[in-house]
Every structure is written in structure tokens, then in C-alpha cells.
Chains A and B, each alone.
Chain A
């Protein structure tokens, strides 16, 4: 199965200059576990340079007792984002996540980000492959 079948196309983004508090607000309000980050002020819906995750926010800011209003997203975001093509198999995506120790990959078409695939999507896709009877045991 290719990632194009199971990726999420709903990607929320935030400007790198905004505060971590703003990021928390968006993530809690819209139930996202990560936000794509745009540096250099370009507010394109499909071109991102970094990512900030719930893990980054909790470990790097909240757990340390730092005020999230005083930290910029750019200070804790991971960059660059790791991109794969829509034709990448679920198995390859899982291997890349394991090697890079990350929980989500962005799916790109050239320079354009068209989707995102998370660990949960990988697990769901694996169950479907098994149900189709085409898994390798």
C-alpha cells in the first residue's frame, strides 16, 4: 500500500515568529498533535520548513516551567521536515520513521507538501494490509 492512500491532507501551520502559547491554542482547539512551521514569513499553505509537535512543547517548554507566551515557535521547532513521495510504501515510511526516530512524515509532490502520515496511520494501514491478506508474516 502506498502512503497516498492513507495520508492526511489536513495540515495546520503556524508562523515561526508566533509564540508557543499560540501553537498550543491551535493544537488543543483543532485537535492536532503537530503543526507545520513556516519560517521567513512566507505564509504558503503548502511550503513548510519545520515542524513543532506536542512532544516538543511539553518537554522543551511546559515541563521546564517556562512561560509559553515568552517562547517563540522557532526556538523549539525541528527543521528541516522530512519528506517522502506519495508513492512511498507504508513499509518504507515505517522504516524511515524508525531510522529518524520521528513520529510523522510529510508527503510531498515536488516542493509542495500534500499530506502527512503519522505512526497511527501506519498502524491502521498495516491492519488493512493484513485484512486484505497481502501481508508478509
Chain B
């Protein structure tokens, strides 16, 4: 009850929660676009991912400004800001990975598994949004947090397989090897940061009970 009152009381609070939700919706949209772009090797769609990261940035700035203009009780502000910043880190990782994807072609033996990682990243972003909605309604986040941890573990297992396969691929020079390595590293780190965001959401939820 306390949580519901807290999130729906004032106009500023409502503005913040609406913007935070918009931020997470945008994250789902970007993850989905990234997966489609990777699957179809669509460089133009990768540019959209890079552009949408800027939109994410502006929402983050708006949320933080609103919070420090007086939305929510002071003890809650750092946690809410931290959550928004962690979500923004996911946008940054997606942008960096999209940039690598634009400058190199994913080798055939890695493509299917990398697309599956991108799909699971998208599913994790959907689960994070669902978790946020559940928090606003004061529901228990346990099942959703567990689902996010399962996805993260799955991607972690896939990462080692991708790295094993990547080691068998000959590279023409240092930079092509580095870009491929950074691409794999970025793609498989997105889930870690989404998991951090989910953990943070749970901390916010618990701290307000």
C-alpha cells in the first residue's frame, strides 16, 4: 500500500514513474531492433539502435532532473537515480555493440548463437519492464527476478561456447580480431547489466516496504 501511495501521490512522482516506464519501453524497443538488425545483417537498422540510445539519454536526464526538483522523499532519490543510470548503461552497451556490428560482418559459425543471445537480451528487457510494472502495483518481484537470473545464466553459458567457436576463426589483422572480440564481449555483457538493474529494482522494492 505504502508503495502504491508513494508512486501515485504527487504529479512529480507520476511524471517520474511514467518517464522511467518510457525508458524501459524504449529499452525493449532497442533490444528488439538490435536482434532484428543482427539477424538480417541490416546496417541501417543498427543506425536506428545508435540513434535511439540518444533518446534514452534524454529520458535519463529528464528523470534525474525531476527527482532532484523534489519528486519522492530524499532517502529514495539515490536508489531511483541509480536504477535509471544502470538502465542507461544497457543503452550504452547496445550502442557500442551496434557500432561494432556496423564495422564488421559476424562470421557464419557465430551468427545463430549471437542472434539467440540478442533474443534472450530482448526477453530480459521485457521481463525488466514487467518487473517495474509489478513494483508499481506492489506485487512480489521474486519470480521475475528469478527469471532474469535464469536468462543471465543461460547467456553466460552461451558466451563460453561463442568464445570457443570464435577462437577457431582466422582473423586477417589485429583490428578485425579486436572488433570481433569487443562485439562478442558487448553482446554478452548486456544481460549482466540488465540483471544489475533487476537487482536494484528489488532493493528499491524492499527498502520501501
| Residue ranges of A at the interface with B (Cβ–Cβ < 8 Å) | 5-6, 8-10, 124, 127-128, 130-133
Contact = CB atoms under 8 A, between A and B. Distances in A.
B163 to A, nearest CB: 12
Given A127-B143, A127-B146, A9 B154 contact: no
B-side interface mostly: helix
A112 to B, nearest CB: 12
Contact of A128 (B113, B119, B147): B147
A9 B143 contact: no
Contacts of A6: 154
B166 to A, nearest CB: 14
Scoring A5, A6, A130, A131 by chain B CB atoms within 10 A of each residue's CB, the highest score goes to A131
Scoring B119, B120, B154, B161 by chain A CB atoms within 10 A of each residue's CB, the highest score goes to B154
B157 A131 contact: no
Given A130-B147, A131-B127, 10 more contacts: A5-B123, A124-B150, A124-B154, A127-B147, A127-B150, A131-B144, A131-B146, A131-B147, A132-B127, A132-B147
Given A5-B119, A9-B116, A130 B143 contact: yes
Given A130-B143, A131-B143, A132-B127, A9 B112 contact: yes
A-side interface mostly: helix
A130 B146 CA distance: 10
Contacts of A9: 112-113, 116, 158, 161
Contacts of A127: 143, 146-147, 150
Nearest to A5: B119
Nearest to B150: A124
Nearest to B148: A131
Nearest to A10: B161
B130 interface: yes
A107 to B, nearest CB: 12
Nearest to A121: B154
A133 B151 CA distance: 16
Contacts of A124: 150, 154
Contacts of B161: 9-10
8 contacts: A5-B123, A9-B112, A9-B158, A9-B161, A124-B150, A128-B151, A131-B144, A132-B147
Chain A to chain B: the 6 pairs with minimum beta-carbon distance, closest first: A131-B147, A131-B143, A10-B161, A128-B147, A131-B144, A124-B150
A6 B54 CA distance: 32
A121 to B, nearest CB: 9
Contacts of A133: 130
Contacts of A131: 127, 130, 143-144, 146-147
Nearest to A114: B112
